[in-house]
Structure formats: structure tokens, C-alpha cells
A = this chain, B = another copy of it.
């Protein structure tokens, strides 16, 4: 129970447990929302400027009689990543994904275009990483893209075990603001070595 200053007692919100029926699209929305809020927080503090790339949409038909209303369009596959920006003067670029699995993250969730993009970021001297949320564990990890790229090239298994995240990545602390303090994890993995 949360006791508000006014004395009104608000019962804790009953959240519907996530089921297997949750679609892949919806599943990621919680993570995306939390990252967007965290980015806004970082931006307000002047700590970083990180923005989400809009979802690419191919517009087929526009009705100008209705003030440029789009009447036919479809989602395109993102060929880059979801987020990029600047932190401590460095360019950073990352992809955010969530999974229902409790034990591993299937690499098939990431397109080869996205891997190529992250490799290019590394070539240019930027920071590249993944943020992966294990929804059913309630844990979110930051993992350097370099490690994932290496693993993908060498391992027979096309799925990253949870142990890999614990070993090479960093658990992201959750809180009120920022929701996901992923820059703390960036700090640990990229700036303190």
C-alpha cells in the first residue's frame, strides 16, 4: 500500500501477469518506454543526449484532402538500431530487445543488418551495445556489442545464455528516475577499464 500525503490510501495496482500470448511487438513496449523515460531524464540533467530512431514506415498512399492523412503504409525492417546519441563526448549506439526466455537470448532477434551497423559503429570508434530485458526474470542487462559479435561468429549455438550476460555484461539498476540507469552500466563497462 502506498500512503499518499493526503491520507488517501491507494491499493497497489494489480498488474496482469504477462502471458505467452503477448506479441513480440507489445512485449518490447515496456522496455522501450522505460528507456525513453530514462533518456528524457538524462537529457534534462544534461548528462547525455540519446534519442530513439522512429520506426521506419513505407508510406504508400496519402490522402491530401484530409490534411495529409496516410491511408496505406507498412512497417519496414529497421536496418540500423533503435537508439543512438552522445555521452561524455562519445558517440553511442544500441539496440534494445526483450525476451520471454528465462535462460537465453536468441540471436535471431537481431537482423544481420543490425549486426553490420554495430560493427560499423565499432570501426568508427563509437560505443556499441545491447540492452536485453529478460521479462520473466525481471532483469535487464547491458552487453557490449563486441562480445555479442564475437560470440555470433564463433559459437555453434545461435543463442546467448544468461550466464554470458552475467559474465560479460552488467545488470542494469532499476529505479524511479531514471527507470533504467543504463549509463551506470555504460560507465562500468566502457569507462572504468
Contact = CB atoms under 8 A, between A and B. Distances in A.
A89 interface: yes
Contacts of A125: 86, 89
A98 B44 CA distance: 31
Copies in the complex: 2
Interface in A113-129: 117, 120-121, 123-126
Contact of A68 (B43, B46, B74, B86): B74
Interface string A49-73: 1010111110100000000111111
Contacts of A120: 43, 46, 49
A171 interface: no
A134 interface: no
Contacts of A54: 53-57
A128 to B, nearest CB: 10
A84 interface: yes
A127 to B, nearest CB: 10
Please list the 6 inter-chain residue pairs (A to B) with the smallest Cβ-Cβ separation, ordered nearest first: A86-B91, A54-B56, A70-B73, A89-B125, A91-B91, A86-B124
